[in-house]
Structure 1
Amino acid sequence: MSPAALRISDLNDLLRATFLTGKVVFTEGIAALSDDHRSQVVEAVQSFRQFTPDNDPYGEHDFGSIEIDGVGRVFWKIDYYDPDYRYHNENAADPTTTRRVLTIMLAIEY
């Protein structure tokens, strides 16, 4: 794994596990879940560690898919924006110029 990919995966893992270093967005489907189901989704996303070359080919830990009883398949995705959250940012390894957004959605909303 390249040094940049390693740095990106570390930054992505920090956001995913803590929800502290970027924005977290729930889609309407996630927001409409019961508090208990939404808590299960958050716990599953924050504890996700099942990265493989098949589901994480670039080693950036920027996407996951989870099956949750009573909810179904849930996707989460991290995207990279400029400091104003207006445009895509190509330099995801630099936290001083990149803002991360973690979106959590039901797979049927994709």
Structure 2
Amino acid sequence: MTDEENRRATIARLNDRLRSTGEDGWTYLSRGVSKLPTAIQEDVIRAIRLFDDFTPENDPHGEHDGATLKIGEFRICWKINYYTPGRRENGKVDAADPASTLRIMTIMFVEPL
């Protein structure tokens, strides 16, 4: 494996940890998703946590940093962005270094309702 492939595999592992456990980062629901009934919000979060259908088409860089899924009648997407800890600025961070990167996953509708 090349250094770049190792780096991307590390980023994917770190992103998978946030996505599948909610740990080591923050998760935000968009305003629309947060207005759904609690049971549907729980279904959305569960589906995202269990998602593992990464392909070259939906994950071209192999970093597991986002996807779109259909959950019931809703098309939902989630995206992980990287920020400088304590500043929440999207700047130059090393996504492969968990000590210097704050991961934030945002869950939102693909289309407005």
Q: Percent of pairs identical after alignment? A: 38
Correspondent of 1:62 among 65, 89, 95: 65
Provide closer, same or farther for how the CA distance between residues 25 and 89 of structure 1 changes in structure 2, counting only shifts above 3 A: farther
Task: Give, in whole Å, the separation in 2 of the partners of 1:14 and 1:89.
Answer: 22
TM-score by length of 2: 0.91
TM-score by length of 1: 0.93
Correspondent of 2:106 among 103, 107, 110: 103
Q: Which residue of 2 aligns with 1:79?
A: 81
- Per-residue deviation, residues 71-94 of structure 1 (Å, max 9, x unmatched): x10000000001122233431000
Partner AA of 1:8 in structure 2: I
Query: What stretches of structure 1 move > 4 A for 4+ residues in a row?
Result: none
| 1:1-110 equivalence runs, <5 A | 2-70=5-73, 72-84=74-86, 85-109=88-112
Q: Once the 2 structures are TM-superposed, how far is the Cα of residue 69 of structure 1 from its aligned partner?
A: 1.1
- What secondary structure is seen at the aligned counterpart in 2 of 1:55? coil
Uncovered stretches (5+) of structure 2, i.e. residues with no partner:
none
Uncovered stretches (5+) of structure 1, i.e. residues with no partner:
none
RMSD after superposition: 1.2
Contact 2:93–2:100 (CA under 8 A) maintained in structure 1: no
